[in-house]
Amino acid sequence: MSHVFVSEGEKLFLLHSVEDDCRIDGRKCLESRRFKLETGIIANCHGSCHVRIGNTDLLVGVKANVGPPDSEDLNSGKVIFAADCSANASPVFEGRGGEELAAELVIILTKSFIPTFDLRALCVAPGKSVWILTVDILILEFGSKPNLIDAAGIAVKSALFNTRIPKVSFDQEIEELDVPEDPSDLVSLDVSRLPLLVTATKIGGHFVVDATEIEEAASTSSVVFAVDPVGQVIHTKMLGSGTLYMDPLKESWQHFKRLALNLHDDLDRLLQKDSVVT
């Protein structure tokens, strides 16, 4: 997916830099870039977030509607992810080039977030009505795929944290929804168990996190970890065509876990503000 060409000489230089734990932008191998984050910026959404990390720029909006439950689980609501790539986000998105990346991102987010979301809390009337949340991700600008995936995890969790839905109940006597008259009578979602994503990119025999475009071009494989706030791995996804051996991953896992837990702590603290930038 990388749109950057890297010569063999540049790859060798990157490899030596990573071996010395000093990347070309000055970061250590397991050091992420600082990010900018704003919440509640889309007026016609129930929740929203804007995130920028490096050259990746994302906008996430959450909309909530009441609808029928799935026949497989009549007492649970639904969370549906959708992604779209702006044609100006990257040269690789010209034509239909962004559809494959958007579809892959949706799969990763679905498998990472749905298992930890309390879908039963979205039930309005058992067997009749549930909240259906649609989480739309718009990729405004694209750096590297690892960077994009990690940014999407931050943006989605932040947008869901910012989401407020009407305190709707179901009147059993008349079998109709009871909508509060006060438009400010809203409830928030429980995001305390939701994960964040950390993508480790292999360069030579070492891993880096929050890879740049050049680092992605010099790599053949990456692995995405979805880690919840207590350090449990919810989902993993291999990226690229290269081979990843388990031993190096096991040796580095504690570092990735610590990064994810620190990110959870930082994000939780920032989200207590109405609009946050870090």
pLDDT at 83: 96
pLDDT at 143: 86
In whole numbers, what is the pLDDT of the chain averaged over residues?
Answer: 88
The percentage of the chain sitting over the pLDDT mark of 90, rounded to a whole number, equals 63
Average confidence (pLDDT) over 145-174: 89
Question: Where is average pLDDT lowest: 21-30, 140-149, 234-243?
Answer: 234-243
SS3 187: strand
Question: Where is average pLDDT lowest: 15-19, 80-84, 155-159, 261-265?
Answer: 15-19
pLDDT at 115: 97
pLDDT at 69: 92
pLDDT at 262: 96
Interatomic CA distance for residues 229 and 189, integer angstroms: 16
The percentage of the chain sitting over the pLDDT mark of 70, rounded to a whole number, equals 85
Q: What is the dihedral of CA 183, 66, 117, 63, to 10 degrees?
A: -60
Residue 180 has pLDDT above 90, yes or no: no
Amino acid sitting at position 177 = L
Could you tell me whether strands 129-141 and 78-85 are parallel, antiparallel, or unpaired per DSSP bridges?
A: parallel
Interatomic CA distance for residues 230 and 126, integer angstroms: 31
Average confidence (pLDDT) over 7-33: 90
SS3 214: helix
- Tell me the domains of the chain and their CATH numbers: 8-270 (3.30.230.70)
Contacts for 42 with CB less than 8 Å, ≥ 6 apart: 48, 59, 61
More confident residue, 89 or 195: 195
- pLDDT class for 276, splitting at 50, 70, 90? very low
More confident residue, 170 or 115: 115
**Crossing angle of helices 145-162/246-270, nearest 10°?**
40
pLDDT at 278: 38
* CB distance 128 to 122 below 8 Å: no
Q: How far is CA 266 from CA 55, 171, 189, in A?
A: 21, 41, 19
Residue 6 has pLDDT above 90, yes or no: no
Residue 26 has pLDDT above 80, yes or no: yes
Identify which of 151, 209, 150, 143 has the alpha carbon closest to the alpha carbon of residue 3. 143
- The two structure tokens encoding residue 21: 């734990």
More confident residue, 262 or 241: 262
* CB distance 210 to 33 below 8 Å: yes
SS3 116: helix
- pLDDT class for 127, splitting at 50, 70, 90? confident
pLDDT at 226: 97
pLDDT digits (tens, 9 = 90+) for 31-46: 999 999 999 999 999 9
Residue 277 has pLDDT above 60, yes or no: no
Whole-model pTM?
A: 0.91
pLDDT at 245: 65
